[in-house]
Copies of this chain bind each other. A is one copy, B any other.
C-alpha cells in the first residue's frame, strides 16, 4: 500500500501541530537537505508549456529516497476562480523503485516556499532586521509572513497590494497572529524603513514591482514572484547594485529575476552560504537578494517532513496504488483469483 496524505489530512496535521511549530519543523528538514546539497541528483524541472501556463515535473534523489513534484503555473486561473498553482508529490524507495508516499502539495508548496525564504533571510538579512515590507498579498502572502515570524521573529509588516480585497483578506487572516500590520497606499510607501522587502506578486509579465530608487542600503530583498520565463519583479539596475543568492543556478537563470542578466552574471548558491563555504551578508550597507524560484530538493524535504510527521497518526490513508501479487511473476493472477493457486496442469493443457 501507498500512504496518501490529502488536503484534509494536511490541514488537520497543521492544526494539530500548530502552524508556527510546523513551519519551524519543516525549516529544519529544508535546511538539513540544503546542507547536504552535493548528495542530491539534481536537474532543472521538466516543463510542458502551453498557451495559458506550464505543467512541470520536479524530480530529486539523495540515492536512498527519490521524490518528485507535479506542479502547474496558470496565472489566468484566478479569473475563473481556480488557483494559479496546484501541486502534489511522491516519495519512493530508490532500492526497489516502489512509491511509498503520495501527498497534496498545493498547501505544502506555499509552506516550503515561505520556509526557504525565511531560512535564506536568516543568513542574508541584517541581524537586527525588524520590519518587513510585503508587495503582493495573494495566496502565498500569509505563509511568507508567518514563516518570517516563526523563524526570524519578524512581527512588523508594511504591506501593499493593488487589489484592496487581497489586502483585506491578508489583514483578516493574520488578525490575532501577533503582527503589527501597516497597510500602505503604494509600494513606495510600503518599503519605507523596511529592513526586508518581500515581493510576491502573481501576474506573468516583466514587471517592475521594485525599482532601483525604492531600495536603500542594507536591505534584504526576498524576491518570490519572479519564478518563470517572462515573469520578473525587480528592475535590472537593482540586480546590478546587489549581491544575488539563488537555489540552483541552472534553473534560476531560466526562471528567476536573473533571467534579465547575462548567463555569467555572478550569483552565490544558498547551500554554499548555509554550509559556510561562501559568505552571506558581509556588510551593513550591502543589498542582498534571494532570487527564489523554488527547487526540487525543497519539495523532497517537505515530503520527507510530512511523511515523518504522519507516521503513527490518523493524518494519512493507505491506498492501493500498487499491484501486489503474491508471486511477482504472476501479475495476471490478480485478474484471475480463482487460478491464483496453480495446480500443476501442464499435461492437461498439452492434451
Footprint of B on A, CB under 8 Å? 4, 6-8, 11, 14-15, 19, 41, 43, 46, 48, 50-55, 57, 59, 61, 63, 66, 68, 70, 72-74, 77-78, 80-84, 86, 88, 90, 92, 94-99, 104, 106-107, 110, 137-143, 166-169, 171-175, 181-183, 319-325, 327-336, 339, 342-346, 348-350
B335 touches A107 (CB 8 A): yes
Query: In the complex, what residue of chain B is closest to A348 when comparing beta carbons?
Result: B175
Q: A74-B97, A173-B336 are in contact. List 20 more A-B contacts (CB 8 A).
A: A48-B59, A52-B95, A55-B61, A55-B66, A55-B92, A55-B97, A72-B92, A74-B96, A78-B329, A81-B328, A83-B331, A88-B99, A104-B321, A106-B323, A106-B331, A107-B331, A138-B329, A142-B332, A169-B342, A183-B350
A182 and B351 alpha carbons, distance in the complex (Å) = 9
A329 touches B106 (CB 8 A): no
A327 and B11 alpha carbons, distance in the complex (Å) = 17
A350 and B51 alpha carbons, distance in the complex (Å) = 41
Q: Give the distance to chain B from A208, nearest Cβ to Cβ, in Å.
A: 22
The answer to whether residues A6 and B319 also contact, given A63-B50, A173-B330, A330-B169 and a CB cut-off of 8 A, is: yes
A137 and B327 alpha carbons, distance in the complex (Å) = 13
Can you sample 26 A-B contacts with CB below 8 Å?
Answer: A7-B324, A8-B320, A11-B335, A19-B335, A46-B59, A48-B66, A48-B94, A51-B95, A52-B95, A52-B96, A52-B97, A53-B97, A54-B97, A55-B97, A57-B68, A72-B96, A74-B97, A77-B328, A78-B329, A82-B98, A83-B331, A139-B325, A168-B345, A169-B342, A172-B342, A172-B343
Q: Which of B43, B73, B167, B350 contacts A346 (CB 8 A)?
A: B167
- What 8 A-B pairs are tightest by C-beta distance, nearest first? A72-B97, A142-B332, A172-B342, A6-B320, A106-B323, A139-B331, A171-B349, A7-B320
B82 touches A6 (CB 8 A): no
Which residues from B are CB-within-8-Å of A332?
110, 139, 141-143, 173
Query: In the complex, what residue of chain B is closest to A183 when comparing beta carbons?
Result: B346
B72 touches A98 (CB 8 A): yes
